[in-house]
Structure formats: structure tokens, C-alpha cells
Structure 1
């Protein structure tokens, strides 16, 4: 785990999964868009009796940052206190979300490096080298 100034730091998908397993207060927020959730898939936390919080950092199709993002996430977190792990496609949007939520007084907030799909491989395909899917962590697709 690395720590960067305005949020708790980056963790691997495996470290996030372990934390979600071990800490009943830990939560996972997927900040991708509705099309990504529908067509690419979602982390599946059902075996640890948790649900992924879905809150888009950017609004599809304009991809403008949602000005109500913090309010929406806080509403879904409710009164729970504990570490919050943020996930996107590759780790960029989720880092921005972790920073924003730390500034909003939530946390500790972590960025899941590599995101859900990870970096592109030599064939420009995602999901094979890094990220939640490549780590063979549980996920589902509609």
C-alpha cells in the first residue's frame, strides 16, 4: 500500500478484497458509469455478504464530473464508518474520487490500483494483465 498526500493511498485489487473480507466496516465504491457496470461487469461481493456501492464519478455521456458525487456516496454509506475503497476501469477516476471523498471528511479512502479492467495488454485489450478481473477476483456481468 502506498500513501499519497490527500487520500489514504493505492492498494492492489487483492489487498482491497482481503480488507473487504476481514473488516466488516470496509466498503467498495465503483465509480464507473452505468454502461460500464452493465456491459463490462461488476465486482461480486455476495460471498462476503456485501454489496458494491454504485456511484458514477462522471456522468455519462458527457463525462462531466458529477457535482453531487460526494452527497450521493455519503447517502449510500449511511452511518457506516470505516475504510472505503474506490474502483474504476483503470484507477484514474477512482483516485480522484478517493481524494474528493477524503476532502469531504470520509475515510480512510483508498484507490484500487489497476481498477476493474486494468491496463491494456500488447493487443490493446483490458482485463488480462492488471485489475480486479485479471486478479481473478469475483465478478458478475449482466
Structure 2
């Protein structure tokens, strides 16, 4: 099982394994067949903004909302649902959590660490990344800006 190179972690964060760049997450996903990418954005974001495309590396993307629109309350079934979906993977599998820019995914990584998973990583920059000078996302950092595969429905 390929792991995250220690020098590429932003350091072990309080409550989860740490932040990784989108390119480091992509590297591990390509090398470690057990690793999982979990997109924790909302259904609307998946539909209208797009999704990481893992088809080229023969992987399925896991999608599970951390917060549910329109209220944006935390999904009360998140930990139980994801733990069930990961039952056969084991608690030491590399889990990469992705949201728009990295805040919700960090909370999800913390929750799954508390649930007993030991390699929960927040994908820093997320799918769209931070706002640029013109207040647009997807250009400055994140999955899309890095040129990683993605698709839109």
C-alpha cells in the first residue's frame, strides 16, 4: 500500500492525518489500489460544478455529503454511512477527503479519524480552490487548477 510521503504532509494535524496537496492525493490514488477519494460537497456542487474523474486510473469516486443543502446542516448519517461503505477496506486505508476548498473535507477527516480510521487526509485546495484576484474559483489552486481529470454532468 502506497502512503503519503511524510515530507508532503503539512504535518499531522490535530484530529486527523494532515493536509495533502491535490497532486499528492492523485499520486497515492494512482499507486495505492486501496486508497479512496471521498467528495463531501453537496449534490448541487457535484451536478453543476463537476466531479473528479478517476476512470482513467480504474477507480470509483465516493460521494457523500458532509453538509446537506439548503440548510447546510452536518449530515447526521455521514460517519455511519461511510464507515459501512468502507467496512471491507479496513481502518488503515488512505482516505482523501475533498470539498470545494478544504474546510468541509477537514471536518469530515476529523470525524472519520474519531470513528477509528487512521489515515484520513484533507485535500488542501479542494476541487475548486481559493478565490483568485477576480473572485473566481478553479484558477488559483485545487483539483481543477492543477489540471487533474474531472467531468461535468
Same fold (TM over 0.5): yes
Partner residue in 2 for 1:130: 141
Partner residue in 2 for 1:45: 54
CA distance in structure 1 between the aligned counterparts of 2:137 and 2:55, rounded to whole angstroms: 24
Q: 2:107 aligns with which of 96, 101, 104?
A: 96
Partner residue in 1 for 2:131: 120
Partner residue in 1 for 2:76: 67
The normalised TM-score by structure 2 is 0.91
Give RMSD over aligned pairs: 0.8
How far 1:93 sits from its partner (Å)?
0.2
Per-residue CA deviation, residues 54-109 of structure 1 (Å, 9 max, x unaligned), is 00000111100011100111222231131100000000000000000000012310
Which is strand-richer, 1 or 2? 1
Q: Which runs of 5+ in 2 are unaligned?
A: 1-8
Q: Which secondary structure state, in structure 1, belongs to the residue aligned with residue 18 of structure 2?
A: strand
Partner residue in 2 for 1:15: 24
Q: Which runs of 5+ in 1 are unaligned?
A: none
Per-residue CA deviation, residues 4-44 of structure 1 (Å, 9 max, x unaligned), is 02100000000000000001110000000000000000000
